[in-house]
Structure 1
Amino acid sequence: GHLIWVEHGRKAAVLISFFEQLSTATRDGIKAVSMVMGQPYQSAVRKMLPNADIVFDRFHVMQNYCLLIKKERAKAFRNGSHEDKKMLKGTLFLLLKNAHKLDERQSDRLGDLLESNKTLCIVYMLKEQLQAIWDEPCYKSMVKALEAWCDLAKSTRILSLCNYADALLDRKVGVCNYAKYKLTNARVEAGNVSIGLLRRRARGIRDIEYFKLKIRQTSVPDTHSTFYPNIKLM
């Protein structure tokens, strides 16, 4: 879980430069790579690790769906009556939060909202079903569940859902490779949070190389005291 490399940029060439620093044996030993769905990362992995499977990060797949929910709610707010807008106000977190994490009052309010808006009801129910896909025990059953979900999404004839389903089908293999490896970007995302905090504390970065050095420093846990090297830190 330790950070082993950091570089500025999100282009394929940046990731390729990392793979070029690895030995051939190390590259050949990589079985799978978890990543966001950006095309540059896919291109770099397919070029440098042709035998490795790509696993699209579960969080980012669901994050894209949450963007869909936000857009549908915003559309409903724009086109709604005064009463509709009153009902929709302050409800975004209810639509995005997992159902089992809502208290009784929040669940009742969400129920009223979904009862009053058919499109949001459909989008929300499909969100709950989409999350269940990652509980499938194997690759084949996950593919089957994903295809069934996409068919259901398309049958609603809601444009945003149809477009999302098409995009998901295009990336079906990468999404369902999760069932083989159970890989996510969780550790990387935790590191990104730390980098964001470091950037904010610095209040502006003038020296990128120094910034990368600080990122490396904060990513390595202290195991011994600087002043008392014989004392092991817990």
Structure 2
Amino acid sequence: YLLKEQFRLIFQLKGKEAITALDDWCSWAKRCRIPAFVDLCKHILNHRESIVATLTHGLSNALVESTNTKLRLITRKAYGFRSTDNLIALCLLDRGGYCPPLPGRKAA
């Protein structure tokens, strides 16, 4: 339990402090002999450069992944549309932030 919670705390830290905590956590995970944590540590070491870049700069591709998922969902909903223009309009309406006034309602 403590290993899991310590791992979660690493991503709340920034910069060198986070990198040091990650290295300490990996050495701790290697010694614990729990196969899942040992495997996770191996994966972390294989992708260490990318993880360190994320910890250093605080950047993530989560927003892009979220947008891609939403667009796939919209595409699935728009299966019966007759043209791609309708699909594009629905994507822009959902993800573009446009909020047209509805008929019969006063604009706020």
1:190 and 1:221 mapped to 2: Cα distance?
15
1:220 and 1:174 mapped to 2: Cα distance?
30
Q: Hey, what does 1:136 align to over in structure 2? A: 13
Aligned AA for 1:131?
Answer: R
Aligned AA for 1:127?
Answer: K
Residues 52-91 of structure 1 deviation map (CA, whole Å, 9 limit, x = unaligned): xxxxxxxxxxxxxxxxxxxxxxxxxxxxxxxxxxxxxxxx
Identity of aligned residues (%): 24
CA, structure 1 residues 166+212, in 2 after alignment: closer, same or farther (shift >3 Å)?
Answer: farther
What are structure 1's unaligned runs of at least 5 residues?
Answer: 1-123
Q: Hey, what does 2:3 align to over in structure 1? A: 126
Aligned AA for 2:61?
Answer: N
Number of aligned pairs? 104
Aligned AA for 2:20?
Answer: K
1:159 and 1:137 mapped to 2: Cα distance?
28
Aligned with 1:135: secondary structure? Answer: coil
Aligned AA for 1:185?
Answer: N
Aligned AA for 2:43?
Answer: A
> For residues 162-181 of structure 1, what are the structure 2 equivalents within 5 Å?
162-181=38-57
Contact between 1:147 and 1:169, CA under 8 Å: does it hold in 2? no
Q: CA deviation at 1:205?
A: 7.4
Contact between 1:195 and 1:215, CA under 8 Å: does it hold in 2? yes
Q: CA deviation at 1:166?
A: 1.0
> For residues 7-156 of structure 1, what are the structure 2 equivalents within 5 Å?
124-138=1-15, 140-156=16-32
Aligned AA for 1:164?
Answer: L
Asked whether 1:221 is paired with 2:97, we answer yes
1:176 and 1:131 mapped to 2: Cα distance?
15
Contact between 2:14 and 2:55, CA under 8 Å: does it hold in 1? yes
Query: Could you say what the CA RMSD is over the residues aligned between the two structures, in angstroms?
Result: 3.2
